Amino acid sequence: MIKFLQPPGWTAPKGYANGIAARGTTIFVGGQIGWNAQQQFESDDFIVQTGQALRNVAEVLREAGAGPEHMVRMTWYISDRDEYNARLSELGPVYRDAMGRNFPAMTCVQVAALVEARAKVEIEVTAVLPD
């Protein structure tokens, strides 16, 4: 069971949830970056890497018998906040292509660097597969 938490009187968020309550098997997806299954980057473009990172998250969820609809929390670590904000209109279609219209509680933070030097984004997810 997944229940979205929207306090009365709050403006509805766009592209994320304010909170989620869930019951079931918890799935923790470690930070996924924009490289392929062989751990090779196919592009240094932020949008391309984000699409790949999101597809990687979806693949790990599938391995647990879950899907994007089971996500309850998502954290994005980005190396360039200005690029993220400048390219938001490109992110929407890439996100929906990989995750559909599933918007968990989200946090996005800029970091000084990611462990993989070519990585521009790293995304981790918590999901709950209902009992």
pLDDT in tens, 88-119: 999 999 999 999 999 999 999 999 999 999 99
pLDDT higher than 90, residue 2: no
Q: Quote the pTM value.
A: 0.93
Query: What pLDDT, on the 0 to 100 scale, is given for residue 1?
Result: 80
Query: What pLDDT, on the 0 to 100 scale, is given for residue 60?
Result: 98
Helix ranges, the chain (H)? 46-63, 81-86, 88-99
Joined together, the tokens standing for residue 69 give 């609809």
Structural contact between residues 73 and 113, judged by C-beta atoms closer than 8 angstroms: no
Closest CA to 2 of 13, 58, 19: 19
For the sheet with 71-78, list strands across it.
Answer: 25-33, 121-129, 71-78, 105-110
The whole-number average pLDDT for the span 5-16 is 93
Please write the tens of the pLDDT for every residue from 53-64: 999 999 999 999
